[in-house]
Amino acid sequence: MFKKQFSAKTIPLVFFLAAFVSYGLLIPWTGFYWDDWPFAWIARFLGPAAFIPAFRGFRPFLGPIFFVTTSLIPLNPTLWQIFALIIRFIAGLSAWFALNQVWPNHKQQTLAAAFLMLVFPGYSQTWVALTHINQEWIPFIFYLLSIGLSIRAIRDPDKSLLNTILALIFLVIGLFPTEYFFGMEPLRFLFIWTVITETTREFWPRLIQTLKRGWPYLLIWLADAAWLAYYYRSGAYISYGIAASQQLPSIKDALFAVGDVLWKTGFYTWFQILALSFHSIRAPATLASLALIITCFGLLIFYFSKLETFPSLPTPLPLGEGTRGEGITFAIPAILIGLAGILLGRVPSFAAGLPLTLQSSYDRFMISMMLGGSLFVAGLVELLIKNERAKLFAFAFLIALGIGQQFFNANIFRRDWQRQQDIYQQLAWRIPALEPGTAILTDFVPIDYETDLSFTAPINWIYAPDVKPPDLPYAMIYINKRLGGATLSDLKPDTVIQLPYRTLTFRGNTSQSIAIYVPQNGCLRVFDPAFNDSETYGRFPDSLSSLVPFSDPSRIITSAPEPSLPNPPFTSESNHTWCYFYEKAELARQSRDWNQIARLGKEAKQQGFSPQDPFEWLPFIEAYARTGDLNSAKQLTQTAWDQQPRIRAGLCQLWERVQADSAALSVSKGPNEARSFASNLLNILGCGQ
Residue 218 has pLDDT above 50, yes or no: yes
pLDDT value for 533? 92
> Strands 513-517 and 525-526, how do they pair?
antiparallel
The model's confidence at residue 426, banded by pLDDT at 50, 70 and 90, is very high
Residue 211: which H helix or E strand, with range? helix 203-233
Q: Name the band, by pLDDT with cuts 50, 70 and 90, for residue 621.
A: very high
Crossing angle of helices 186-197 and 203-233, rounded to 10°: 170
Q: Are 452 and 606 in contact (CB under 8 A)?
A: no
Q: What is the pLDDT of residue 661?
A: 78
**Which residues, including other chains, have CB under 8 Å from residue 182's CB and lie 6 or more apart?**
175, 221, 224, 225, 228, 347, 348
List pLDDT tens digits, range 311-330: 544 333 333 333 334 446 89
Q: What is the pLDDT of residue 319?
A: 30
For 57, the domain range is: 8-414
| pLDDT at residue number 666 | 52
Return the pLDDT at 663: 61
Task: Give 686's pLDDT tier (boundaries 50, 70, 90).
Answer: confident
Helix, strand, or coil here: 636?
helix
Do residues 111 and 210 both lie within one domain? Answer: yes
| SS (HEC) of 391-433 | HHHHHHHHHHHHHHHHHHHHHHHHHHHHHHHHHHHHHHHHCCC
Give strand pairing partners of 471.
505
Q: What integer best gives the mean pLDDT of the chain? A: 90
* Domain end marker among 381, 414, 447: 414
Helix-then-strand count for the chain, H and E: 28, 7
Lowest mean pLDDT among 280-284, 401-405, 603-607, 650-654: 280-284
Task: Name beta bridge partners: 127.
Answer: none
Could you tell me if 634 and 583 lie in one domain?
yes
Residues 327 and 362 in one domain: yes
Whether 573 shows a pLDDT value over 90: the answer reads no
- Say yes or no: 551 and 600 in one domain: no
Q: Report, as an integer, the average pLDDT of 655-672.
A: 69
pLDDT for residue 57: 79
CA distance 417 to 423: 10
| Average pLDDT, integer, range 211-238 | 84
Q: What is the domain count for the chain?
A: 3
- What is residue 70's predicted lDDT score, i.e. its pLDDT? 97
Q: Is the pLDDT of residue 246 over 70?
A: no
What does the pLDDT read at residue 242?
Answer: 43
What does residue 213 show for φ and ψ, rounded to 5 degrees? -80, -25
Which pLDDT belongs to residue 315? 37
pLDDT at 638: 93
Q: What is the mean pLDDT of residues 164-170?
A: 97
Instruction: Tell me if 570 is assigned to some domain.
Output: no
Residue 592 carries which side chain, given as an amino acid letter?
R
Report the side by side order of strands in the sheet with 471-472.
471-472, 504-509, 496-501
Is 588 inside a domain boundary? yes
Q: Are 66 and 134 in contact (CB under 8 A)?
A: yes
Show which of 530, 558, 586 is a domain's final residue: 558
Please tell me the distance from the alpha carbon of residue 524 to that of residue 544, in angstroms, as a whole number: 13
- My answer on whether 521 and 606 are in the same domain is no
Mean local confidence (pLDDT), 66-76:
97
* pLDDT (0 to 100) of residue 240: 44
Using alpha carbons, select from 368, 378, 366, 367 the residue that is nearest to residue 336. Answer: 378
Whole-number percent of the chain with pLDDT over 70: 92
Amino acid type, 83: F
Decide if pLDDT at 617 tops 50: yes
Mean pLDDT calculated for residue range 544-553: 94
pLDDT at residue number 543: 87
244 and 147 in a common domain? yes
| Cα separation values, 493 from 480, 511, 557, Å | 18, 5, 22
CATH number of the structural domain spanning residue 652: 1.25.40
564: in domain:
no
Q: Please indicate, yes or no, if residue 478 is contained in any of the structural domains.
A: yes
Q: Report the DSSP beta bridge partners of residue 497.
A: 488, 508
Q: pLDDT tens-digit profile of 185-204?
A: 999 999 999 999 988 889 99
- Of 190, 85, 98, the C-alpha closest to 142 is 98
Distance CA 596, CA 601 (A): 9
* Whether residue 135 sits in one domain with residue 277: yes
> What local confidence, expressed as pLDDT, does residue 402 receive?
97
Q: Same domain for 145 and 292?
A: yes
Confidence of residue 247 (pLDDT cuts 50, 70, 90): low
Q: Same domain, yes or no, for 157 and 295?
A: yes
pLDDT of 47 over the 60 cut: yes
- List all residues 6 or more positions away from 392 whose beta carbon is below 8 Å from its beta carbon: 301, 304, 305, 310, 311, 313
Note whether residue 1 is domain-resident: no
Residue 520, Cβ density class (10 Å: 0-12 exposed, 13-18 middle, ≥19 buried):
exposed
Average pLDDT score over residue span 644-662: 89
Distance CA 245, CA 675 (A): 66
CA dist., res. 395 & res. 304, Å (int): 10
Q: Are 64 and 182 found together in one domain?
A: yes
Of 162, 123, 126, 117, the closest CA to residue 144 belongs to: 117
More reliable by pLDDT, 661 or 160:
160
For the chain, the straight-line distance linking the first and the last C-alpha, in angstroms and rounded, comes to 83
**How many beta carbons lie within 10 A of that of residue 226, not counting itself?**
10
pTM of the model: 0.91
Q: Can you give 589-632 as a three-state secondary structure string?
A: HHCCCHHHHHHHHHHHHHCCCCCCCHHHHHHHHHHHHHCCCHHH
Q: Mark whether 259 and 161 lie in a shared domain.
A: yes
| Residues found in the chain | 689
CA–CA separation, 610 vs 93, rounded Å?
A: 52
pLDDT reported for residue 239:
52
566 in a domain, yes or no? no
Percent of the chain topping pLDDT 90? 76
Q: Is residue 426 part of a domain?
A: no
Q: Assess if residue 65 is contained within a domain.
A: yes
493 and 385 co-located in one domain: no
